[in-house]
Structure 1
Amino acid sequence: TLGLGSTVLLSLLAVATITFLALVPGPLPWFDGGLPLPGLYVAAVWAALSMAAILIAAYAWRVAEETRRMTDALGAAQMALAREQEMSALGALATAAAHELGSPLATILITAKEMLNELDDDDPLRAEAQVMLDQALRCRTILAAIGRRRDHDEHAPFVRAPLSSVLREIAELYARPLVTLEVTSRIADGQEEPTLMPTPEFRHALGNILNNGLEFARSKLQVVVEKDSREVRVVIRDDGPGFAPEVLEWLGEPYLSTRRDNGGLGLGVFIATTLLARTGAALHVENASDGAVVTLRWPSEAWRRSFGENLG
């Protein structure tokens, strides 16, 4: 169970001890006095013990390292299974919520439309009624999307779009009047911008991340698409206050939120992280000097497997 450094140190100590005994050997106890050993025999014993110590240490470390890898793999598999189970439970909960919320949402829509029709154009409450109606319609669209079956994607090769265009389209759904959205591409020489057919899962995951960035940004949200022969990267940077230090290390775990007072459940980033992980993406978050930075990375093989495009 020792690490590599401890194993090497212990082996060197053993070899040093064997070498010291070989350099200053004493005679073996014998019935008529000491029995001196020939120099060749001492050298041979030194070589045998030294090699044995090194080989046994190397073998033991390899076995222990393999055990550690298996333990880490088992832990990762258990964590992935737990996250999938939580996602499955959330899916069932979302279906039930969509069913239960249908009737009260319809009532809210009818009431909002009647209020809007009864208010005059110059009434200051008309704008608020319009916002309420728009948000209720958005809720109905979200609930309808939860229960909608995935469309068959046999025509996917004919409807592929550049990644930057897809990100701009998703971000514009959550646009805010005082926040500027900037989507750019930085493609390595000889490379073309990656394209994909965005799945509902991809749209939801990126929409959640972009919505958070737009919500916390003070004046600008930058989205940069980068690509080389090894991977595709999406860097999302805002100029807001950044992530709270107490949640930065645990971001992506379920029910972790700093906005519970405002109705946040702490599931958005967890769901987005899990959905993106299914496509092979790795998510990294950090605080910069002028805001928060979220980086998504798809290795070339993961991108090809998930979106059917070879980056080579």
Structure 2
Amino acid sequence: MIAISWRPRLIVAGLLLALTYLWLQSASPELERRNRLQTTLRIIELRDAELMRDILLARAGLLANYDALTQAGQELLRLSQSLQTELQAVEAAEQSLGNLADQLTATVQERLGQIEYLKSDNALLRNSVMSFDEIGKTLRAAAKPGDAVKLGNLWRLMFSFMDSPQPELAVEIQQELDRLAGLAAQSDDYRVLIAHGRLIIEVSPKVDTLLRQIIAQPIVSRVDDLQQALRQYSGSVEQQAEAYRLALYLVAVVLLAYLLYQFVLLRANTLALRKAHANLQQETNERLQAESWLRESEARLRAITDSAHEAIVSVDMQGNIVSWNQGAQLMFGFPADQVLGQPFQQLLANPAPDFFAQIQEVQGANRLSSPMRELKALRRNNSVFPVELSLSSWTRGAERYLTAIIRDISVRKQLEQVARQQELQLIQANKMTALGTLVSGVAHEINNPNQLILFNSGLLADIWSDALEVLEEHYQAAGEFSLGGLPYSEMRNSAAVLIRDVRDGAKRIERIVAELKNYARPPSSEAPVSFAINEVVERAAGLLKHLLDQKTRHFKTDLAEGLPELRGNPQQVEQVLVNLLINALEALPDPEKSVSVTTKLMNDGRQLSVEVRDEGVGIAAEHIEQLCDPFFTTKQANGGTGLGLAISASLLRAQGGSLSFSSAPGQGTCARVIFQVNLGPAMADNHAM
């Protein structure tokens, strides 16, 4: 059946190829070539006539120079050579045209060679004639009467010879020249005249002979032969083209007849196809109606799925994605054309190898959907986020599919985390409130007995001073005795020291209690006051003395002298320094590592800095910018809330200061507090000096 369907096409194609071949062969390109060659031959005839005209003018002495003669000859040679080149491309059966063109070119070249000889001899002849004429005129004017007659006779014979170079005239002129040569008193002019006369007699016949040979060159006959041969060749080619045109006509008739035959067959097949088409049309309309209903249903389903905020993804039983809604594209970042056909597991972070096996097991017991489960998913930028996923199964024909409804619960998880952080913050705030209350109560309870110790230690010192005189007299009179089981000679010096130590300890307790009460006191809204930063550093270090002794053996301070006072709230600055020192101490891996506090002026005295530097574990570079963010902490395992540095940064901003960090893992951290210094007029002058 396939061969039958292709047979008419092959026949038509063969006939068209035959028509094309015959049309190409019937179109005679030789007509244009013949016209071009005939035009070239006519131009050659014209250029040959112009060349002969210039030769005759040159021989007659009427041509000013030989340029026109040279140009005509070169043009004639170029035309003959172009004709020769074109005729060499003619078929081998007509090589006679090429031979005739070769003969024409050879004849032209031979004539041009003779013309060159003619130009040379004719120029020599014309020069001798002019010289002979000029010298003759001069000699006749100056000659004696007898010599003048001889010269006049020679003059007459020479110009008769120039008009008609007959041998008899040449003999007479030669005799006259011989008689002149025999004169005894011969001058140079005579010798030159005789030489030119003999040259004229010798060259003039040669020039005439060359002229006759040039005229005798058969260029015109060669052109006529070429024209005759060209007409014969064109006639044979035209006859062949006529034969191809006849064949072209016959093939065209055959093609037309075959096309009519095929048209009749096509007409019959068309009637049969119309009947089949009428039957198919009804079936097609029914299918189109069904497809229209199906498309409407799919459009409604697509509108529902695309309007959903959740990702709705369908997969086959091999786990490959077959549908992808707009919510999935917004959630995961993948357009549909990049994800369709890809494994569903690439959307999950660390999926179980038997993920779909577990799902199919859950779906096996005739259940339409699986329980909600929480998973970790991957976005296009490889970021992980939590999702809730529920699955339902459906079938289409013999194939079974699963549809996953995925909900992004990142916001919910963040809110839960914030709630937990806020709960921890409330617990910490409650703890700090209780601690403040406890500190105030303990300070009050400690302060009363401590005041008694201070009072009694002073009174005891006065008593010992008064009793010492009595005891000294008794010692001098009775000798050594004991006080409290100790020899008087030892107690005499030690008792005053013991009493002073008791008093100093009580004063230290009083100072620590005052600092604890001051630190636990709520922030005041009083106007800023002037304070010395070095004193604030010392108070903060005093509060943390026990922790400093416990965490490091190498705590040092480098406090610059003559620092300008700052204005602000010294209690808040102290709180900041306490937080920074606690963080530095907690970062130390062992007590051999050091912590230092340095104060100094910067930027030509316009800024004052406090640096808390430790040799601790350091902070990763990606965490440096987040240290002052609320609830960010690297010590969550140790109970850190992430609020200390955030509060410290807020307090410093209220004081017009700033907090920055520099660190390298394993090499320690430097926390730098910068305050702006307002120089008064006097301080500015001192600084300038």
Specify the TM-score bucket, using the shorter chain as the normaliser.
Answer: 0.3 to 0.5
Larger Rg: 2
- TM-score normalised by length of structure 2: 0.23
TM-score normalised by length of structure 1: 0.46
Richer in helix (by share): 2
Instruction: Name which structure has the greater RCO, CA cutoff 8 Å, separation 6+.
Output: 1
